[in-house]
Structure 1
Amino acid sequence: MLIENMSMAFQAIKANKMRSFLTMLGIIIGIGAVIAIAAVGDSMRNLFADAYKDIGFNRGIIMVYWGVDDFRLSDNFTRDEMERVKEIYKDRIEYIDSSSGEQTEAVNGRRKVKYQFQGVDYNYGDVQPVNIIYGRFFNESDVKGALNHVVLEDKGAIQLFGTADCVGRTFRMTVKKVTQEYKVVGVYHKDLSPMVAMMLGTGQTQSGFIPDTVLVKPNDTFQNLNFYARDGVNMKQLMADMTQYVAKLKNRPESEIRAESVVEEMGSADAQLSAMSAAVGGIAAISLLVGGIGIMNIMMVSVTERTREIGIRKALGARTRDIMIQFLTESAFLSASGGIIGIILGISLVKIGGVLLKMTVVVNPAVVVLAVGFSALVGIFFGLYPASRAAKADPIEALRYE
């Protein structure tokens, strides 16, 4: 019976191709928009997850919040305090530094390149792998000796020296208001998708690493403790314990200690992206309502056009239920067909966009299944009244209809 009803529905749609297509258009646009928006949202969330992965999921930063009214110099950390934290939490922290950095200009002859250097310890590569293509990363002697050594990204090295293979070469730059010679001990390469590169900006400032001890001298103070937890450590508990310790260390209430983890930041960004996708998807879904109304309208026209057919079927013994199921099947078939076309259209658009932007596109199968099911339900819901009207038609009056 179902196959027969579907066959009849197909024949009815086929008999009015243009009208059927225009009726499906609202469903096609609505489902296509919902699929595309959901895919873009999931792809952006995946992109952000990859970006946070580069930062490190187990990374945390803790400080005395600088926005307090009575912030004082002693609220900053010293190297001795950082070493104490490192010792106390050595079972849970794999790496720690002062989160120091320096923006300066590197000069090699007539070449001048703006750089943003990140101060790191010698074991930074244990928590954030650095793809060294020439030379090496810092060793313990580089850091403990506060040597003027740097590791440059290949793009910046090419701008400064004309080649990425520049290990052993020197240049001048000013760090902490002191101009000195610096030696390149390594060059690294970092792959970024065009989308991530666009998010990070296309500025002329290049990246590099420098020993943390070059930027923070023994008597210097700094605001942040930047650390990476060991694998398997409960990050939330670690942040709570360190907040308590720092509050006692600095004689501050815990409410004035600012502790942030990448996991929390990522969760917040993910929630915002999800909410944005849901809101925009909801707006796009309104077109499904419009499409449903279009289906109801065309089914009403179909009932009127086929009044005599309904009368003949009833006269030949068709039950009220049979007539209703026939028209409901036709309505659902029309809507589901539009839904399938919309899915193909939506996925095609995001796939093409992904190829052009050279980014991985994420299409959630659950969203696709939900979209097909929802489009069929729209057809059934908006087809109920026309089907009911057809089923209740008086066969005598229907046979008299011209």
Structure 2
Amino acid sequence: MLRENMSMALHAIRSNKMRSFLTMLGIIIGIGAVIAIVSVGDSMRNVFTDAYKDVGINRALILVSWEVTDFRSSDYFDRDEMERVKEVFHDKIAYVDTNSSADTEAINRLKKVKFEFQGVDYNYTDVQPQNIIYGRFINEADVKKAANHVVLEDKGAVQLFGTADCVGRTFRMTVNKNTQEFTVVGVYHKDLSPLAAMLLNNGQKQAGFIPDTVVSPKGDRFQLLNFYVRDGVNMKEFQPEIVKYIAKTKGRKESDIRVMSVVDQMGDVDSKLSAMSAAVGGIAAISLLVGGIGIMNIMMVSVTERTREIGIRKALGARTRDIMIQFLTESALMSACGGVIGIILGVAIVMIGGAVLKTTVIVRPSVVVMAVGFSGLVGIFFGIYPASKAAKADPIEALRYE
């Protein structure tokens, strides 16, 4: 019986190809938009997750909040305090630095390139491994001597020297208002999609590393401690512990200490992206309602056109239920076909966008299955009234219909 109904439904759809396509258009656009928006949302969340992994998901910053009304000079940190934090929490903290950086312009003869150098300690690669392609990374001697040594990203090296293989080359730049000569000791490469690169950097500045003792010399005070917890340490559980210690050493209330962790930021961004994706997807789903109304309208027309066919089938013994199932099958099949085409359209749009941006796209199979099922339900829901009208038709009157 199901095969027969499917065959009749397909025949009816093929008999009016243009009308059927125009009827399915609302479903196609609605499903395509929902699939594309949900996939874009999931892909963006994945990009943000990768971007945060690049920063370090076990990373956090701690400081005396700048919102306190009686901020004191002693609320800044010095290197002795940083070393004590390392000692006290050596079993839980893998790395600590001053979170120093230098926005400057590197000058090599007539070439001028804007750089943002991150000040790091010698063991930075223990928590954030770098793909060194030439030379080496900042070492302990560089940090202790505050040596004017830098490690450049290969893109910046090419802009400054015309080649990535520039270990041993020198250039001038200004750090802490002092213009000095710096030597390249290493070059690294980082694979980032254009979208991730845009999220991590505005694209106008090149990246590099420099000993944090150069950017923040001994004797300087700094507002932030940048730290990475060891693998296996739960950041959320550790936060109250380090907050209590910093509050005690600074003579502050625990509420005066602020911790900004990458895990918390990831959660905030993920929840906002999820809410935005759901809201926009819900708006796009409104077109499914329009598509459903279109299906109901065309099925009403179909019932009117096939009144005599309905009368003949009833006269030959077709039950009310059989007639109703026939038209519901046709309505659901038309909607499901529109849903399949919409899925293909939505996935194609997302794939093309991902290829252009060189970003991995995520299309969840569960969303695809739900989209097909939902489009079928739309067809059934909006096909109930026309099918019911067809099923209740009086066979005598139907046979007289011209």
Give the drift of 1:348.
1.0
Quote the Cα distance in structure 1 between the aligned partners of 2:294 and 2:187: 63
Cα deviations across residues 271-294 of structure 1 (Å, max 9, x unaligned)? Answer: 111111111111110000000001
Quote the Cα distance in structure 1 between the aligned partners of 2:17 and 2:248: 77
1:335 and 2:351 matched: no
Deviates more, 1:68-77 or 1:173-182: 173-182
1:244 and 2:239 matched: no
Corresponding residue SS for 2:288: helix
Superposed counterparts of 1:192-341, under 5 Å: 192-201=192-201, 203-341=203-341
Quote the Cα distance in structure 2 between the aligned partners of 1:310 and 1:105: 82
Cα deviations across residues 51-72 of structure 1 (Å, max 9, x unaligned)? Answer: 1111111111111111222212
Quote the Cα distance in structure 1 between the aligned partners of 2:378 and 2:273: 27
The match for 1:98 is 98
The match for 1:347 is 347
The match for 1:144 is 144
Give the drift of 1:178.
2.2
Corresponding residue SS for 2:61: strand
Q: Which amino acid in the other structure matches residue 137 of structure 1?
A: F
Give the drift of 1:205.
2.3
Change (3 A) 1:291 1:5: same
Quote the Cα distance in structure 1 between the aligned partners of 2:204 and 2:324: 68
Change (3 A) 1:168 1:201: closer
The match for 2:123 is 123
Corresponding residue SS for 2:329: helix
Quote the Cα distance in structure 2 between the aligned partners of 1:260 and 1:201: 20
Change (3 A) 1:11 1:110: closer
The match for 1:114 is 114
Quote the Cα distance in structure 2 between the aligned partners of 1:26 and 1:205: 46
The match for 1:135 is 135
Quote the Cα distance in structure 2 between the aligned partners of 1:201 and 1:180: 26
Q: Which amino acid in the other structure matches residue 211 of structure 1?
A: P
Give the drift of 1:339.
0.5
Quote the Cα distance in structure 2 between the aligned partners of 1:158 and 1:344: 42
Give the drift of 1:317.
1.2
The match for 2:153 is 153
The match for 2:400 is 400
Answer whether contact 2:51 2:199 (CA < 8 A) is retained: no
Q: Structure 1: which 4+ aligned runs deviate by more than 3 Å?
A: 198-204
Identity %: 75
Cα deviations across residues 311-368 of structure 1 (Å, max 9, x unaligned)? Answer: 1111111111111111111110110011011111111111112112211111111110
Quote the Cα distance in structure 1 between the aligned partners of 2:252 and 2:364: 47
Answer whether contact 2:197 2:203 (CA < 8 A) is retained: no
Answer whether contact 2:154 2:188 (CA < 8 A) is retained: yes
Quote the Cα distance in structure 1 between the aligned partners of 2:88 and 2:295: 69
Corresponding residue SS for 1:354: helix
Quote the Cα distance in structure 2 between the aligned partners of 1:261 and 1:153: 26
Cα deviations across residues 8-39 of structure 1 (Å, max 9, x unaligned)? Answer: 11111111111111111110111011111111
Corresponding residue SS for 1:35: helix
Quote the Cα distance in structure 2 between the aligned partners of 1:11 and 1:351: 33
Quote the Cα distance in structure 2 between the aligned partners of 1:285 and 1:107: 54
TM-score, length of structure 1 as denominator length: 0.97
Corresponding residue SS for 1:150: strand
1:14 and 2:46 matched: no
1:42 and 2:42 matched: yes
Corresponding residue SS for 1:393: coil
Quote the Cα distance in structure 2 between the aligned partners of 1:52 and 1:200: 9
Answer whether contact 2:51 2:200 (CA < 8 A) is retained: no
Change (3 A) 1:266 1:236: same
Answer whether contact 2:113 2:160 (CA < 8 A) is retained: yes
Give the drift of 1:203.
4.1
Q: CA RMSD in A?
A: 1.4
The match for 2:186 is 186
Give the drift of 1:201.
5.0
The match for 2:25 is 25
Quote the Cα distance in structure 2 between the aligned partners of 1:400 and 1:271: 62
Answer whether contact 2:101 2:116 (CA < 8 A) is retained: yes
Quote the Cα distance in structure 2 between the aligned partners of 1:8 and 1:318: 14
Q: Which runs of 5+ in 1 are unaligned?
A: none
Corresponding residue SS for 2:172: strand
The match for 1:363 is 363
State the aligned residue count: 402
Cα deviations across residues 208-254 of structure 1 (Å, max 9, x unaligned)? Answer: 11111122222211011111111111110111211121122212222
